[in-house]
Structure 1
Amino acid sequence: MNLLLLLCAVVLLASILGSKLSGRLGIPTLFFFIALGMLFGTDGLLKIDFENYHLAEQVCSAALIFIMFYGGFGTKWSAARPVARQSVLLSTLGVVITAGLTGLFCRFVLGMGLAEGLLVGAVLGSTDAASVFSVLRSQRLNLKYNTASLLEIESGSNDPCAYMLTVTLLAVLGGTASAGQVAVMLLEQVVWGVAIGVAVSWAAGYVLRRWPLTGGLDGIFLIAAALIAYALPTLLGGNGYLSAYLAGILLGNQDIPRKKNLAAFFDVFNNMMQILIFFLLGLLVFPSRLPAALLPAVGIALFMTLIARPAAVFLLLRPFRAPLNQMLVVSWAGLRGAASIVFAIVTTVSPAYGDESIFQIVFCVVLLSILIQGTLLPQVARKAGMIDRHGNVLRTFNDYSEETSVGFIRVDVDAQHPWRGKPIRDITVFPGTLIAAILRQGKAIVPKGDTCLEEGDALIIGAKEYSGQDGIELSEILIDPDSPLVGKTLREADLRKDSLVVLIQREGHDIIPDGESRLCAGDMLVLYSRHGA
């Protein structure tokens, strides 16, 4: 047991080191995770004997749930909306076109059977969100024409389509589905996937807004929501991956408490899932068996990169009058990744196919795609003149936050407020602060000296943020129903010495208190105090 724990620690530390090296060498991080698994595997240095495809399929499929969920949760819809139609077309028809062309190539050039060739095309039909995000984030690759958002939506949402094609072809190969049954199966996949994804996102968002969770419980709650979003439609014959992705994107773009903290939590959790899935896949492969699959894999990789993917992109984006350089970059950015390998394992363990040769071929294709396409993507974007020097690709993600030391607070002007009716020039605020905006009847007003404040206005005041570590801490106190503080004002309450109540959280609302604020059962008091006070 101790040896296993030590091995896990070594793998994690090696993965971190690989991430750092990847940034310097310009190689996608995911390549290091795969290489690490191969290094630990049967043909590697540590000779760990692992060839359990069934276990790998279960573990990797579970990890893929969270990768897809976070692919949606981390996408900022306001940035993606202008290119949503193009992204959806690429993630659906684009997958079908790419898979179909690749299947024909496998049939007529590589000599595979038509059904087997189409199966290879379906497994490799989608691009990989983790691979694309890794390159965009690590290289700070901001692209013109909102291309980063287009790739994020496409790569996050096309795995469900590839999965549907894969299971459909497996059903056809197994002789268990007629044309009518295939049509019903596809309809069930989409209907249940969409319906439950929407329902889970609405229910989870309602719970988080109505009963805010603290202490990390909100992150655990979202893990449960992601699992429900996948498992429930799967039990009903729906597409669990579609449901998980849809739930993620709808939840990530709702107004829920501590959303940036949740995005940061899932970023860490997603990294763990990526390490797990790529390391396990690297452990599963036998490098000594890869040479036999290398030649067809190189042919498929070249065909997909230079013909199939560009054909789908040009066919679907040209009606939107997309610039030629954008279409070239989108074509090159069709990186294959974890989902393709997981779907290949699904075919390997399926009674309808049951041959590991497709796994070896797909593994090689993914390795070539990550290593060559992923590494060269920044150079291709620069050569095509697609780099936006004035933007920031991180703005397209929900966990983005400005690198600035300015913070903002809101002050509401009610009927009794001393500033009501006064012009801005007559208001004295603390030195170093600035009234940045006035919110009035749903509209933002730029304040001027003669702007008079009205009842119902909300002032947005900016100031330099405090970020030091000077022995000051925030703590929380929950007011129980039988607490002697219930019904008392803060002035009457006997709280900690040298502390100040800076916030009262009540029924999902934040209240800035004063001495006359009366405490109620269920209130959460946030205290500002010195360490040890």
Structure 2
Amino acid sequence: MLISLTIIAIVIVACVLCNKLTNKIGVPMLLAFILLGVIFGSDGIFKIPFDDFEFVEQVCTVALIFIMFYGGFGTNWKEAKPVAPKALLLSSVGVIATSFLVGIFCYYILHFEWLESLLIGAVLGSTDAASVFSVLRSKQLNLRYKTASLLELESGSNDPWAYMMTVIILSIMRGENSTPLQIAGTVLWQVLVAAAAGAAIAGISVWAIRHIEFETSGFGTIFVVAIALMAYTFPALLGGNGYLSTYIVGIVLGNCTLPGKKEMVHFFDGATGLMQMLVFFLMGLLSFPSQMAGILLPAIAIFLFLTFIARPVVVCPILTAFKSSKSQQAVVSLAGLRGAASIVFAIIVTVDDAYTKNDIFHIVFCVVLLSIGLQGTLLPILSKKLDMIDNSQDVMKTFNDYAQESSLQFVTLTLMEGHAWVGREIQELLMPPQMRIALIRRGDSQVIPKGSTILESADELILSAIEYQGIRPIGMKETYIDKKHRWNGRRLHELAFPHATVAIIKRGGQAFVPVGDTRILEGDMLLTIEDIPRKERGR
């Protein structure tokens, strides 16, 4: 047990370090996670024997739930709405058409069996949100014509269609859903159940989050985690498409005003990143490079056909119908990266009872590796060559964790007897331009501040200011003043603070902002904010 936990910790640390390294050298980070898994795997340096596909299938299903949920939760619908029609066409009709083209290629050119050819097309049919997000964010691709929003909405919403095709083809291979009517009924049922369940769960969840007061900070986020899981399991138990329902719930919650939403975004951003690491690492861990000689050439052929023929053949007519430019069509065509969803679907195929003649898992492994490595590297280059970069735009606006307005922080200030502000009107006060008095608590009442409001002794002021967004490290330190402390009895202006300032003094049961003439007394607790000198940061 201890050895297993140690290995897990080492792997996570290695993945995080790989993330930092790949951003510096320009290699897509998800590629590093796959290669790291290969290094730890049976054919790698550490040779960890691991081939439990059933266990990995369960883990990856949960991981994909989080990825799908955050794909919706992080989508800024205001930015995505103008491109929604073509994005949703790409994610539905586009995925189905792409899958069939790949299936036809595998059948007629590679001479695979027909159903197995269609199965490979279905598994590789959807573009991967995690891979696309990774490239867009890490490379800061500020694309013209709202292309980033288009890619985000398409890649976030097309996985349910690929999953649905994969499940249906597997059922046909097992002897189920043998007639067109049964297939149509299955598709209709999956979509209707997912849509109804997603809408119901989203509506109930928004109401609950807004009306339940959670006693402990962070419980709201835990509540949303449970919602994400239920969004998948409830419709799945009824035979619906759990991933579609999860995405619907995510996009509704992500575009509603919710208490504690900022903390939720930060949590799911980190959790989804960890899930991406996990899925790609496990794929590398399950792979056997020594066994891939027989499927390497077919896999390369499928990748080339999918990337440079099937994807553009599907994308260009759809975008042409919306009068999109040729440059946008080229970028969207190349941006069809394959990744986490294809990995999970390939594992589902591997553990399913349906018989497959070819090693679909390793075929998908090679295609994903080539897709992330080649397409992920070429996408920024092509975007610049086609003049698709517009630095007046900000790709981060397409995500809900982007704040168009700076976040506000609130602090309290109690006016004690003798304070310089007591008896003065608010409009007379000299305050920083970005600081405001948001509210005044006066006894048991609350006063909305106006310019003519006169401040009184014992008023508790709620001050608002823009949150610090800098990257330079700032330290906070509490200093207790006892009888022998060298600051005891001295005034602030008599002390030298070269890289610090005393922000707050806690005295008795109150806290106040000191001025230069404030005398430090025994029993005071000083909150000091320190700007760490650059030469000391690496120590």
Paired amino acid for 1:37: G
Alignment of 1:60-459 (within 5 A): 60-177=60-177, 178-213=179-214, 214-354=216-356, 357-401=359-403, 407=408, 427-428=427-428, 430-433=430-433
What amino acid sits opposite 2:176 in the alignment?
T
Q: Assess, with a 3 A threshold, how the Cα gap between structure 1 residues 470 and 49 changes in structure 2: closer, same or farther.
A: closer
CA shift at 1:499, angstroms? 3.3
Tell me by how many angstroms 1:200 deviates. Answer: 1.5
CA distance change for structure 1 residues 434 and 12 in 2, over 3 Å: closer, same or farther?
A: closer
Seen in structure 2, the aligned counterparts of structure 1 residues 464 and 68 have a Cα distance that, compared at 3 Å, is closer
**Partner-residue secondary structure (3-state), 1:58:** helix
Q: CA deviation at 1:81?
A: 0.7
Partner residue in 2 for 1:28: 28
Q: Is the 8 A contact 2:279 2:343 kept in 1?
A: no
| Distance (Å, rounded) in 2 between the aligned partners of 1:143 and 1:212 | 41
Residues 338, 432 of structure 1: CA spacing in aligned structure 2 closer, same or farther, 3 A cutoff?
same
Q: How far has the Cα of 1:297 moved from its partner? A: 0.7
> What residue number does 2:40 align with?
40
What does residue 16 of structure 2 align with?
A: 16
Deviations 1:360-398 (A, max 9, x none): 111111110000001111001101110111121111111
Partner Cα distance (2:402, 2:31) in 1 = 25
For 1:35 and 1:403, locate their aligned partners in 2 and report how far apart those are by CA, in whole Å. Answer: 39
For the residue of structure 1 that corresponds to 2:292, the secondary structure is: helix
Contact 1:126 1:159 in 2 (8 A): yes
- Partner in structure 2 of residue 421 of structure 1: none
Aligned in 2, Cα 1:226/1:463: closer, same or farther, shift over 3 Å?
closer
Aligned equivalents of 2:476 and 2:54: distance in 1? 53
Counterpart among 499, 519, 524 of residue 510 in structure 2: 499
Q: 1:159, CA displacement in angstroms? A: 0.3
TM superposition shift of 1:294:
0.9
Please state how far the C-alpha of 1:465 moved relative to its aligned partner: 4.5
Deviation at 1:472, TM superposition (A): 7.5
1:192–1:236 Cα contact (<8 Å) kept: yes
State the Cα distance separating 1:212 from its structure 2 match: 3.6
Note the alpha carbon deviations across 1:24-74, whole angstroms, 9 max, x for none. 221111111111111111101111111122111111111110011011111
1:452 to partner: Cα distance: 12
Q: Which amino acid aligns with 2:220?
A: D
In 2, the alpha carbon distance for the partners of 1:355 and 1:348 equals 11
Deviation readout 1:477-507 (Å, 9 max, x if unpaired): xxxxxxxxxxxxxxxxxx9943369xxxxxx
Q: Determine helix, strand or coil for the equivalent of 2:202.
A: helix
From the CA coordinates, give the structure whose radius of gyration is larger. Answer: 2
Contact 1:196 1:232 in 2 (8 A): yes
Deviation of the 1:241 alpha carbon: 0.5
CA distance in 2, matches of 1:245, 1:13: 30
Aligned to 1:443: none
Higher mean alpha-carbon deviation, 207-216 vs 271-280, is at: 207-216
Report the Cα distance in structure 1 between the residues aligned to 2:358 and 2:231, rounded to whole angstroms. 30
Structure 1 residue 287 displacement after superposition: 0.8
SS at match of 1:433: coil
Structure 2: how far apart are the matches of 1:307 and 1:212? 54
CA distance in 1, matches of 2:344, 2:324: 33
Q: Which amino acid aligns with 2:297?
A: L
1:260/1:398 contact within 8 Å kept:
no
One-letter amino acid matched to 1:282:
G
Preserved contact between residue 432 and residue 463 of structure 1 (Cα < 8 Å):
no
**CA contact under 8 A between 2:116 and 2:356: conserved in structure 1?**
no
Query: What is the Cα deviation at residue 252 of structure 1?
Result: 0.5
> Structure 2 stretches of 5 or more lacking a match?
412-425, 439-450, 454-462, 480-505, 513-524, 529-539
Take 1:257 and 1:472, find their aligned partners in 2: how far apart are those partners?
Answer: 30
CA–CA distance in structure 2, aligned partners of residues 110 and 135 of structure 1: 31
Aligned-residue sequence identity (percent) comes to 49
TM-score normalised according to structure 2 size: 0.78
Q: 1:428-477 CA distances to partner (integer Å, 9 max, x unpaired)?
A: 454223699x9xxxxxxxxxxxx999xxxxxxx9855468654589xxxx
Cα distance in 2 for residues equivalent to 1:389 and 1:275:
30
- How far residue 244 of structure 1 moved from its aligned partner, in angstroms, is 0.7
Tell me, yes or no, if the aligned pair for 2:131 and 2:337 is still in contact at 8 Å. yes
Distance 1:360 1:2 in 2: 31
CA distance in structure 1 between the partners assigned to 2:240 and 2:31 by the alignment: 32
Partner of 1:321, secondary structure, is coil
1:196 and 1:87 mapped to 2: Cα distance? Answer: 23
Deviations 1:122-166 (A, max 9, x none): 110000000000001111111000000110110011000001111
Pair 1:49-2:76 in alignment: no
Structure 1 vs Structure 2 CA RMSD: 2.9
Structure 1 CA distance for aligned equivalents of residues 526 and 217 of structure 2 = 21
Matches of 1:138 and 1:202 in 2, distance apart?
Answer: 34
Contact 1:38–1:282 (Cα < 8 Å) also in 2? yes
Deviations 1:211-242 (A, max 9, x none): 14342111111111011000010000000000
Letter in 2 for 1:291: A
Q: Is the 8 A contact 1:126 1:158 kept in 2?
A: yes
User: Are 1:348 and 1:356, in contact at CA under 8 Å, matched by a contact in 2?
Assistant: no
1:348 is displaced (CA, Å) by 1.7
Q: Once the two structures are superposed, what CA deviation does each residue of 1:394-436 show, in whole Å capped at 9, x if it has no partner?
A: 11111113696x84889xxxxxxxxxxxxxxx94454223699
Structure 1 residues 465 and 155, CA gap change in structure 2 (3 angstroms)? closer
| Distance in 1, Cα, partners of 2:320 & 2:305 | 21
How many angstroms apart in 2 are the aligned matches of 1:193 and 1:61?
17
1:456-495 maps to which residues of 2 (within 5 A)?
463=465, 465=467, 470-471=476-477
Which residue does the alignment assign to 2:457? Answer: none
Q: Deviations over 1:84-137 (max 9, x none)?
A: 111100000000110011111111111112211111111100000000000011
Unaligned runs of 5+ in 1: 411-425, 439-450, 454-460, 474-494, 502-528
